[in-house]
Amino acid sequence: MKIAVVGSINMDVVARVAHVPAPGETLLARSSSRGGGGKGANQAVAAARARGASVAFVGSVGDDGDGRALRAALQADGIDVAGLEVADAPTGVALISVGDDGENAIVVVAGANGTDAAFSASQAALVSDADVVIAQLEIPPSRVLEASRLRKDESLFVLNASPSEPFADPAVADSLLSTTDILVVNEHELRDIASATSGPISDAIDALAARVGALVVTLGPQGSVIAVGAERRTVRAFAVDAVDTTGAGDTYCGVLAAQLPGNRDELTVDALADAARVAGAAAALAVGRVGAQASVPTADEVDEFMEDA
């Protein structure tokens, strides 16, 4: 199966602190590190380390040292980087504080990820050849919509609606939802997109599920809910002690994509729930490790973890 990931790629600069700083607070970090990040690149790495898929990444970096280092890191994971192009902007950067409880605060400087030019011929070819196309919203919505238009009729288009701010524009929201086969959101994003800031979560799920082919709602320690039409499945979470939640959601999305059938007609609520269980196991392993791409487990590690759980 071929997967094309369309999205952001950043150099993560991570500071380990006692707790995520409050507004106006200055903290001394215990340590710092630099490594590959960005929702798109993280998801590409997660899909590549899962079993059975060939993965291509479509995105932009700057003509700088960070861009070259990030390209090499993707290649080391066997990811096709023919669609990773050099933009007239610096490589994106994410500034991340991680507390002792595993929680984080992230500021992203988009840089080259903000490029909204049309896809090049090589980028378009990778998307149109894929069985599964997955995108996020750390890049301009116009790029996401172009990717959805370029994919094959029978392929699956997966949108991780994070961040959810673009949905504040009703026209953009309608365009994104109408072309999405599988929408992946957390509870905050679910309520934001469904305009349901209060009330039972089931009402928000019902409202949003009616607008997409399938819906996956991740609920952290409460697991996830799968909705396809009127059918619902609840997938339990794996109990773990969180060390660093950075990139765990991206690990989930990338592994989920790698477990999907390669054809839209084969997508069922049971198939999606099975994929979500494997994705949840991978995310559980990721939160027990430090870093974004550095924390993504291999397929063998996920298999062993699920056998022991």
Give the residue numbers annotated as catalytic, written as ranges.
250
Q: Which residues of 69-80 are buried (b: 16+ CB within 10 A; e: fewer)?
A: ebbebbeebebb
- How far apart CA 178 and CA 157 sit, in angstroms, is 11
Report the 10 Å Cβ neighbour count for 127.
25
- Phi-psi map region of 166: left, alpha, beta (phi>0 left; psi -120 to 50 alpha): alpha
Going across the sheet that includes 156-160, the strands are: 80-86, 54-61, 2-6, 132-135, 156-160, 182-186, 214-218, 224-228, 231-235
Rg of the chain taking only CA atoms, in angstroms: 18
- How far apart CA 307 and CA 302 sit, in angstroms, is 9
- How far apart CA 285 and CA 251 sit, in angstroms, is 9
